[in-house]
């Protein structure tokens, strides 16, 4: 038995060595291998003792430990096999079942000391003396069945994994399967022979070492080679390998495509690579490592590659070959170039953006200290309306057209131009190259955007002569923009030049714009009422006007701020506020029983672009539960200057909703009779500008009489506004004018003053 003791000792040492290596590996599978190796040591030790011991107690203890340890060993073998094969389905449940089997079997083996239902020992006398024999009892068969089931489960898991895995992986599972199968065969022989010592434990130890090798140490070279080949073939970078003589021995698919290399003939690999880099064979061989950026044109398409080359040496420093990596950077380079371009240029028009334009202006001024320059900006009148009416595509083409004209007209080397924001463009031009007529001609050419659409686009330009070169460039362009503000509502003027008073007006406009929201919120904006009276002198209603009680400026008439709000598009806010004030007043009057008075509110032409006017006014009337005829709506004929059909639909909506619509300032324009024909208004509000001069001639008076007669023939009541003298009252009364409004009867007053004068019983 000496050979068996020596063999088990050697295997025990090897198992301990594998155990230590396993603990240090840190792999996920390591805990399972550790438990397996630990429980292999116990059968080795017990069988070594059994081979030389004759003490019945020792032998019985060894058998007990041997049977318990093999059951636990087989349970850990099954757990290891399932994890090793990647089996995850209900793994925790299976582990609990295995634990239950181990505990059940171990308890039965332990109580065998008292019951003898697993095995008993017998003394046999022979010539050499007395031998102790092993006699299995009925539970021993159950123990063997449990062991067989566990072994078969482990073998089954290995077989299923081998069948489903690539052949590159099969040796990982086949080796363990073979070792376990051989060990099982030897164990069956031991059971049949009923030998005292289980020599098949040697196979179990060998099987444990196989488990360690393949789960902890083994790296399949064929698998690694196949993976490397697959990765190199699938990556987007081109890869070429060269031997020590610079013969191409491998080129992946990407490299063959980039360099147009025949897959069956790699000999042209070096030649094609050098053609790309533009290097000579001798010089290119001198570098240990290099990175080149190369450009190749094929079929009119430009490709940009980064070529990285390295020499490869073995551990002794001897050359074994080289490799080259080709990265297609075309898209990345183009994207970077585009990002650099967009950092300084406008995306839509392709000309300088604001920051780059400011920088270029500073550069021009610095490089030309003896020259005089103009800063110029342009602005499209009501560009937002152009955008809304004709669409984004048309508006973009309009802006591109302006950029093209700037390029075309900027013939001087010192001219710089760019897009400032939205529809605003700017440039710097030398005074000696400035020509106003060329600028006006270019602005007249802008509407020609190739869409066969004739639209009334009006462009203004503001010009500021640079006096202080140390002024921020942004301030220079601001001054040119200030110049535009002076002519923005004058279609006859195209170019304006900066003056200091224009700056003051701009600052005031900014102040109004900044403060209007707070003014509404804090009650600085208040409604003023100007009475309207009948021919009999009875007050029948009032027009609601707006006033601003400013904490610093004091009482401000509308002329000081309304035009500014019209320009910047904020008129809608103040109009909606005054409309709601009028609704609150009418609601209170109705509550107090004063249903005999009405209020008229003004609707700005811009309101029709800023909001859905009928929806807003109807909501207000419903909110305050008003008789809608008590809230009269005044519109001016200027709203019909464009988009007539839509405006007529809007007016019809208001009248159908029950509101009385008045045409305000009739007679102040040039299309009043035509508007009277087209506009379905309920009341005509006659502008007394005709009779402003007391010396108005007979011709003027006849025209006034004709207008009133025409209105009466259409059953449209007439209100004359701006009535200031008794002569005007008498004249209008003779013509049959129905109502009057003006200083002769009453000035605009606060709500309290109006009510004290007209609502007191």
| 599 and 652 part of one domain | yes
Binned at pLDDT 50, 70 and 90, residue 748 comes out as: very high
Average pLDDT over residues 335-354: 86
Question: Between β-strands 129-136 and 319-328, what pairing exists: parallel, antiparallel or unpaired?
Answer: unpaired
Is residue 339 in some structural domain?
no
| 190 and 235 part of one domain | no
Q: What is the pLDDT of residue 37?
A: 87
Q: What is the pLDDT of residue 384?
A: 78
Please determine, for residue 657, whether its predicted confidence score (pLDDT) is greater than 70. yes
Q: What is the pLDDT of residue 626?
A: 92
Binned at pLDDT 50, 70 and 90, residue 678 comes out as: low
When the pLDDT of each residue in the chain is averaged and rounded to a whole number, the result is: 83
Domain boundary among 151, 185, 218: 218
Between these two residues, 501 and 438, which has the higher pLDDT value?
438
Domain boundary among 334, 361, 389: 334
Cα angle for residues 484, 488, 494 (degrees, 5° grid): 70
| 612 and 470 part of one domain | no
Indicate which CATH number applies to the domain containing 704. 3.20.20.450
| 303 and 191 part of one domain | no
Report the C-alpha gap between 129 and 228 in whole angstroms.
67
Please determine, for residue 439, whether its predicted confidence score (pLDDT) is greater than 80. yes
Domain boundary among 218, 244, 265: 218
pLDDT digit string, tens, across residues 375-423: 999 888 777 777 777 788 888 888 888 888 888 887 788 899 999 988 8
Instruction: Give the start-end residues of each E strand in 361-519.
Output: 373-380, 416-421, 424-430, 459-465, 495-497
pLDDT digit string, tens, across residues 172-211: 788 788 878 887 887 787 777 666 676 777 878 888 888 8
Cα 362 to chain center, whole Å?
35
Please state which of the ranges 120-129, 137-146, 702-711 shows the lowest mean pLDDT: 120-129
Bridge partners of 530? Answer: 543
| 615 and 722 part of one domain | yes
Between these two residues, 316 and 677, which has the higher pLDDT value?
316
Please determine, for residue 87, whether its predicted confidence score (pLDDT) is greater than 90. no
- What pTM did the predictor assign? 0.44
Q: What is the extent of the structural domain holding 268?
A: 231-334
Binned at pLDDT 50, 70 and 90, residue 451 comes out as: low
Please determine, for residue 143, whether its predicted confidence score (pLDDT) is greater than 80. yes
| 142 and 236 part of one domain | no
Average pLDDT over residues 148-157: 89
Q: What is the pLDDT of residue 421?
A: 86
Is residue 509 in some structural domain?
no
- Which of 440-444, 638-642, 740-744 is predicted most confidently? 740-744
Please determine, for residue 760, whether its predicted confidence score (pLDDT) is greater than 80. no
| 192 and 261 part of one domain | no
Is residue 401 in some structural domain?
yes
Please determine, for residue 700, whether its predicted confidence score (pLDDT) is greater than 80. no
Report the C-alpha gap between 390 and 358 in whole angstroms.
32
Is residue 354 in some structural domain?
no
Binned at pLDDT 50, 70 and 90, residue 127 comes out as: low
| 272 and 378 part of one domain | no
Is residue 153 in some structural domain?
yes
Please determine, for residue 168, whether its predicted confidence score (pLDDT) is greater than 80. no
| 435 and 404 part of one domain | yes
Q: What is the pLDDT of residue 689?
A: 67
Q: What is the pLDDT of residue 54?
A: 77
Indicate which CATH number applies to the domain containing 311. 3.30.450.20
> Would you call 105 helix, strand, or coil by DSSP?
helix
Is residue 210 in some structural domain?
yes
Count CB atoms within 10 A of the CB of residue 418.
Answer: 25
Please determine, for residue 754, whether its predicted confidence score (pLDDT) is greater than 70. yes
Between these two residues, 180 and 488, which has the higher pLDDT value?
180
Evaluate whether 733 touches 745 at the Cβ level (below 8 Å): no
Q: What is the pLDDT of residue 746?
A: 92
Q: What is the pLDDT of residue 667?
A: 61
Between these two residues, 212 and 623, which has the higher pLDDT value?
623
The residue count of the chain comes to: 761
Give me the long-range contacts of 470-477 (CB less than 8 A, separation at least 24).
473/358, 473/361, 473/362, 474/358, 476/361, 476/375, 477/375, 477/377, 477/420, 477/426
Please state which of the ranges 181-190, 474-483, 488-497, 514-523 shows the lowest mean pLDDT: 488-497
Average pLDDT over residues 281-288: 77
Q: Which structure tokens are listed for 15?
A: 């198992």
Indicate which CATH number applies to the domain containing 81. 1.20.1070.10
Average pLDDT over residues 622-633: 93
Please determine, for residue 126, whether its predicted confidence score (pLDDT) is greater than 60. no
Between these two residues, 594 and 673, which has the higher pLDDT value?
594
What Cα–Cα distance (Å) separates residue 231 from each residue in 203, 238, 254? Answer: 40, 12, 12
Is residue 340 in some structural domain?
no
Please determine, for residue 490, whether its predicted confidence score (pLDDT) is greater than 70. no
Indicate which CATH number applies to the domain containing 390. 3.30.70.270
pLDDT digit string, tens, across residues 209-223: 888 887 887 765 555
What Cα–Cα distance (Å) separates residue 152 from each residue in 86, 307, 434, 751? Answer: 18, 57, 99, 102
Report the C-alpha gap between 26 and 654 in whole angstroms.
82
| 494 and 525 part of one domain | no
Average pLDDT over residues 113-139: 75
Q: How many domains does the chain have?
A: 4
Q: Which structure tokens are listed for 608?
A: 């029709």
Please determine, for residue 761, whether its predicted confidence score (pLDDT) is greater than 60. no
| 702 and 746 part of one domain | yes
Q: Biggest alpha carbon distance in the chain?
A: 165
| Cα-based torsion angle of the residue sequence 745, 747, 750, 752 in order, rounded to the nearest 10 degrees | -30
| 197 and 169 part of one domain | yes
Strand order in the sheet with 416-421: 416-421, 424-430, 373-380, 459-465, 495-497
Is residue 750 in some structural domain?
yes
> Would you call 98 helix, strand, or coil by DSSP?
helix
Q: What is the pLDDT of residue 447?
A: 66
């Amino acid at each position: 038995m000496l050979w068996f003791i020596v063999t088990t000792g050697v295997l025990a040492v090897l198992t301990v060595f594998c155990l230590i290596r396993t603990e240090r590996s840190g792999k996920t599978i390591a805990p399972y291998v550790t438990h397996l190796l630990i429980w292999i040591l116990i059968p080795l030790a017990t069988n070594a003792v059994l081979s030389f011991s004759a003490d019945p107690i020792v032998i019985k203890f060894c058998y007990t430990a041997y049977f318990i340890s093999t059951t636990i060993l087989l349970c850990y073998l099954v757990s290891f096999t399932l994890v090793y094969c990647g089996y995850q389905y209900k793994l925790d449940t299976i582990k609990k079942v295995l634990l239950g089997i181990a505990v059940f079997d171990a308890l039965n083996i332990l109580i065998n000391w008292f019951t003898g239902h697993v095995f008993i020992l017998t003394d046999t006398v022979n010539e050499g003396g007395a031998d102790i024999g092993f006699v299995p009892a009925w539970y021993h068969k159950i123990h063997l069945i449990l062991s067989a089931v566990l072994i078969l489960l482990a073998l089954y898991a290995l077989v299923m994994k081998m069948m489903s895995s690539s052949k590159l992986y099969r040796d990982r599972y086949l080796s363990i399967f073979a070792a376990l199968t051989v060990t099982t065969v030897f164990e069956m022989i031991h059971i049949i022979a009923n030998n005292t010592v289980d020599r098949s434990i040697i196979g179990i130890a060998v099987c444990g070492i196989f488990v360690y090798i393949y789960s902890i140490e083994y790296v399949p070279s064929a698998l690694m080679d196949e993976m490397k080949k697959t990765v190199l073939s699938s990556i987007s970078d081109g890869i070429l390998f060269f031997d020590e003589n610079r013969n191409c021995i491998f080129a992946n698919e990407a490299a063959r495509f980039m360099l147009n290399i025949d897959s069956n003939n790699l000999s042209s690999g070096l030649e094609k690579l050098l053609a790309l880099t533009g290097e000579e064979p001798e010089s290119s061989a001198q570098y240990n490592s290099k990175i080149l950026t190369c450009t190749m044109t094929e079929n009119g398409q430009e490709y940009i590659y980064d070529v990285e080359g390295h020499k490869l040496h073995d551990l002794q420093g001897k050359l074994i070959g080289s490799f080259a990596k080709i990265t297609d950077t075309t898209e990345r380079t183009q994207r970077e170039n585009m990002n650099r371009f967009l950092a300084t240029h406008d995306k839509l028009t392709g000309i300088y953006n604001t920051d780059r334009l400011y920088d270029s202006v500073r550069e021009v001024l610095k490089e030309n200290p003896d020259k005089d320059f103009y800063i110029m900006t342009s602005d499209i009148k009501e560009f937002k309306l152009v955008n809304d009416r004709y669409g984004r595509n048309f508006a973009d083409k309009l802006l591109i057209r302006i950029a093209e004209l700037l390029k075309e007209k900027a013939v001087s080397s010192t001219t710089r131009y760019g897009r400032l924001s939205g529809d605003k463009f700017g440039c710097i031009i030398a005074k000696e190259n400035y020509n106003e007529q060329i600028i006006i001609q270019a602005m007249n050419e802008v509407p020609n955007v190739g869409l066969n659409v004739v639209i009334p686009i009006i462009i203004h330009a503001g010009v500021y002569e640079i006096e202080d070169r140390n002024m921020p460039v942004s301030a220079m362009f601001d001054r040119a923009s200030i110049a535009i503000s002076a002519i923005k509502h004058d279609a006859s003027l195209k170019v304006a030049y900066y003056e200091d008073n224009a700056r003051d007006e701009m600052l005031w406009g900014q102040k109004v714009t900044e403060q209007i929201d707070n003014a509404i919120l804090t009650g600085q904006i208040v409604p003023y009422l100007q009475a309207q009276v009948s021919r009999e002198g009875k007050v029948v209603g009032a027009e609601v006007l707006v006033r601003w009680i400013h904490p610093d400026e004091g009482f401000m008439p509308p002329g000081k701020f309304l035009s500014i709000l019209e320009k910047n598009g904020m008129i809608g806010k103040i109009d909606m506020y005054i409309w709601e004030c009028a609704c609150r007043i009418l609601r209170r009057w109705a509550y107090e029983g004063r249903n005999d008075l009405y209020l008229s509110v003004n609707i700005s032409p811009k309101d029709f672009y800023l909001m859905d006017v009928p929806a807003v006014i109807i909501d207000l009337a419903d909110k305050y539960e008003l008789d809608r005829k008590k809230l009269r709506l005044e519109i001016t004929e200027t709203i019909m200057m464009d988009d007539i059909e839509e405006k007529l639909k809007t007016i019809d909506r208001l009248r159908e909703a029950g509101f009385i619509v008045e045409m305000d300032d009739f007679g102040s324009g040039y299309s009043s009779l035509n508007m009277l024909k087209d506009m379905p208004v309920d009341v005509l509000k006659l502008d007394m500008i005709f009779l402003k001069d007391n010396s108005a001639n007979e011709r003027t008076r006849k025209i006034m009489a004709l207008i009133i007669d025409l209105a009466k023939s259409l059953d449209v009541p007439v209100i004359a506004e701006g009535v200031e003298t008794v002569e005007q009252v008498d004249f209008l009364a003779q013509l049959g004018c129905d109502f009057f409004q003006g200083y002769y009867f009453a000035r605009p007053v606060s709500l309290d003053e109006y009510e004290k004068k007209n609502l007191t019983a």
